[in-house]
């Protein structure tokens, strides 16, 4: 009887460990805003880029703080975009970049299926949620706009926080 129970336990352990999902997640894919807007689920992107108008007072504070010599941004986003509300802030940030003539070579969009996808910055950046927008100064991550949004929600501060407010706070840190 003991051998049968031991055999059953070993069989169960073998079965349980052999049935794990060992699928490999694909790597994050760099994508231009034009390519992203052509993906299924991102039909809303062109409309947001065409119609979004940031608060002019805050925009006027942002423009002189953007520095393409030392600053760059990485935008990690989902591979499918039917949830426009969760992705809208990164599109609004890109619109601000465009309005400020901030070079597109200084912001990179990485499309991911999951936060566990491999990406070129994983030794420096731990992604907790998609989308994530990270400010880098001299190639070092210094500010996560997404974390600021989450903190604002947790502290029950004014919500929704405007995209330009998040960007301005990040740039203030970068320019200290």
**By CB neighbour count within 10 A (0-12 exposed, 13-18 middle, 19+ buried), where does 101 fall?**
exposed
Could you identify the residue written with the tokens 């055999």?
Answer: 7
pLDDT in tens, 80-124: 655 555 578 889 999 999 999 999 999 999 998 889 889 999 999
Question: Is the whole-model pTM more than 0.85?
Answer: no
Residue 69 has pLDDT above 60, yes or no: yes
Residue spans of the domains in the chain: they are: 25-174
pLDDT, residue 21, reads 38
Instruction: Tell me the CATH class for 25-174.
Output: alpha beta
Residue 144 DSSP one-character state = E
Residue 23 has pLDDT above 50, yes or no: no
Coil, helix or strand at residue 161: coil
Could you identify the residue written with the tokens 């995209």?
Answer: 163
Please count the other Cβ atoms lying within 10 Å of the Cβ belonging to residue 141: 15
Contact 146/129 with Cβ under 8 angstroms? yes
């Amino acid at each position: 009887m003991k051998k049968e129970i031991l055999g059953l336990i070993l069989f169960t352990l073998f079965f349980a460990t052999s049935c794990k999902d060992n699928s490999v997640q694909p790597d994050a894919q760099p994508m231009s805003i034009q390519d992203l807007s052509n993906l299924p689920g991102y039909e809303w992107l062109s409309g947001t880029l065409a119609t979004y108008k940031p608060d002019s007072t805050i925009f006027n504070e942002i423009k002189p703080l953007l520095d393409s010599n030392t600053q760059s941004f990485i935008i990690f986003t989902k591979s499918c975009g039917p949830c426009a509300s969760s992705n809208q802030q990164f599109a609004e940030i890109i619109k601000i970049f465009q309005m400020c003539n901030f070079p597109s070579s200084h912001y990179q969009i990485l499309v991911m299926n999951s936060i566990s996808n491999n990406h070129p910055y994983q030794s420096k950046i731990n992604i907790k949620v998609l989308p994530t927008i990270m400010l880098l100064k001299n190639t070092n991550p210094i500010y996560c706009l997404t974390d600021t949004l989450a903190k604002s929600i947790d502290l029950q501060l004014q919500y929704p926080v405007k995209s330009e407010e998040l960007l301005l706070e990040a740039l203030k840190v970068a320019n200290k």
